[in-house]
Structure 1
Amino acid sequence: ALDEEALVSILTQPTNAVLKQYKRFFEMDGVDLEFEPSVLAEIAHEALQRKTGARALRGIIEKMMMDVMFEVPSDTTVKKVIIPHGAVSGKSVPLLLTEEELQRQAS
């Protein structure tokens, strides 16, 4: 059976890894997509709870990303999306940052 670490590798390592696919999708709209490291463990943990192994990963991510997938393409001011800890359980929501907010963070 796969453990949490193996599931995180499946999410991030292969050329066609699910998270890389999402990053590319957002890049097409000029948006940087970032997953906080703890979110990867959350996704893997949820997949283990479902006892379906790697098959559960895509579904968990799709559910977590649903609203953002619709919001971001229609809002050209968004330049970065951060998926925070707690996003899998719905305890926190993705952060949508504009160019102005990114510049403020940098200074």
Structure 2
Amino acid sequence: MELVFEQEALEAVADKAIERNIGARGLRAVMESILTQIMYDVPSDPTIEKVSITRGCVEGTEKPALIYDKRRVNHAVKLSNGKTEKPELPGSTPASAS
């Protein structure tokens, strides 16, 4: 998976840190606010190939652009009880072992 920040997005992150007067340490908080949802979505979807962050994402007016690889398959299965479960694939560690 590739994570890409457009130049304008990086400048907007720096602007936010300056605006909040939080300096370099505050960059982490700004980045976490942008990436929190992505950190949950991406690991659970193997079809996501690339995530692109724009100025709008930093400013909260857009969502990150997700680029999918159509050749990959999402192996999640919807059970009749409404829960989602990923089947064990050959060579994978069972969920109970992790």
Name the TM-score, length of structure 2 as normaliser. Answer: 0.68
Q: Which residue of 2 aligns with 1:37?
A: 7
Match of 1:79 among 18, 40, 49: 49
Q: CA RMSD in A?
A: 0.8
Runs of 4+ off more than 6 Å:
none
Q: Which residue of 1 aligns with 2:63?
A: 93
Larger proportion of strand: 2
Gaps of 5+ in 2: 71-98
Gaps of 5+ in 1: 1-30, 101-107
Shift of 1:52: 1.7
Alignment size in residue pairs: 70
Larger proportion of helix: 1
